Amino acid sequence: MNQVHALTDLSAREAAEQMARGELRATDYAQALLARAEAIAPFGALLHLDAGQLLAAAAALDASPRPAPGAQPLRGVPLAFKDNIDVADMPTTAGSPWMADHRPRVHAGVTQRLIDAGALVLGKTNLHEWSQGVTGHNHGFGPSRNPFDSTRITGGSSGGNAALLGLRAAPAAIGTDTGGSVRVPAALCGLVGYRPTVHRWPDDGLVPISPTFDTAGVMARCVDDCVLIDHAVAGGPLRLGAMPLMGVRLGVPEAYFWEELDPPVAELARESLRALQAAGAVLVPCDLAEAGALFQEGSMSISLHEILPALAAYFARHQRPFDARALTDAVASPDVRPLFERLFGDSAVTPEAYAHALNVLRPRMQAAYRDCFARHDIAALVFPTSPLTAARIGEDVQVTLCGRPTSAFSAYIRNTGPAGMAGLPAVSLPIGLTRDGLPAGLELTGPEGADSLLLALALGVESALPHAPVPGALQGLARS
């Protein structure tokens, strides 16, 4: 493998440490990633790329004195940002052609903290339009494509991140997660996805869906890079040791979370549980069906009621006029338009239904989680991130699960949605490939605010599982 390809395989921490020691120039690293990004353009990962701006920023770093050790832990590392996260002087389209002229003048809070930590901006990535979908098929800008099979979805809504990371055109990427938009594409593309406790990371400068559920998060190829990014954004530990699994109690919520799994996913997930047991983990059966039921009952009432006021506030932040009906009329994706149409007239969520979901159902769900963690003395819950693998591009509305047609949206967020509604931290880890060569993921959900402990546990779990799968498409890129 030549030097360019070796550089693209570096983790974020490896690249940062090599640059801090003077062993790697930021310019050389940026050029390697840009070359890879150009080579994978057909996978639809990026919506905006300014190579000149990135190379100029890298050259400026190379020409400047290196800071004191630890002062900028991401110095010189190019990160990608989902295109619903503001990066000053770059477009933020939220995946909508209607927003193509929108260039924020200030960074989102999460962007600013990462830049303060020395990170560079690689570009803005593709997403499901307005983040209102789980496939990553954007009908305005084109779909993002799965690194393991370009005819299949990445998952969404942070799908461009998954394509970019899987094909080694970035070491890490920042997305957003409302009901699974970081974790679902991570699972479907053989990556790690970390959703922090809600409000642990800054919320400003994110094109919103639901302020109650929304958070930025990180996708990477290893848990350690999630630790590094969380340190830069939220002040978590710079390094974490892997939690030894011997004696660690992991809750297995069989009802709801382990039901109706496609057999290939179920097989991989059960194998993963056996690997965790072999490493010493104690698997504790527990019942969280109530959380699933409350999610099904209340989540859409909250998100559909909050989105228009939240979008109005975002537009006001940028001194842009907001016309909800014009936005809806301009939606390009046929699976997204019905969601916006539900915001008007008799189909709109009533204030009473919203108040009940927010003030009764959500607290009841959070209490169910707290009780489950305490009663069973468990460090985390463990279950398949997604009940099925990546569908064919174009299967936006309906997929086949366990041999039966079902809603694509409901199927893909069934297991990830409850943690989003409850505001809990969660990590999706790759667990290998099914027999047809498609990745699946295993989610760890932790108690509120226990992010660093959850990441340490994820490091331990990662070490007990098979190495993350490598897309076959990389072989062709290595020969190019």
157 annotated active-site: yes
Beta-carbon count within 10 A of 410 CB: 14
Q: Which residues pair with 427 in a beta bridge?
A: 194, 444
Report how far residue 88's alpha carbon sits from residue 320's, in angstroms, rounded to the nearest whole number.
15
Residue 463, preceding peptide bond in cis (omega within 30° of 0) = no
In this structure, are residues 42 and 118 in contact, taking their beta carbons and an 8 Å threshold? no
In this structure, are residues 410 and 398 in contact, taking their beta carbons and an 8 Å threshold? no
Catalytic residue among 82, 96, 299, 386: 82
Beta-carbon count within 10 A of 48 CB: 18
Report how far residue 388's alpha carbon sits from residue 260's, in angstroms, rounded to the nearest whole number.
9
82 annotated active-site: yes
Q: Is 108 helix (H, G, I), strand (E, B) or coil?
A: coil
**Neighbouring residues of 281: CB distance < 8 A, sequence distance ≥ 6:** 245, 246, 247, 248, 249, 250, 464
- Of 127, 122, 157, whose CA–CA distance to 142 is shortest? 127
In this structure, are residues 228 and 74 in contact, taking their beta carbons and an 8 Å threshold? yes
Catalytic residue among 96, 181, 301, 386: 181
Catalytic residue among 157, 299, 303, 428: 157
Q: What are the catalytic residues?
A: 82, 157, 181
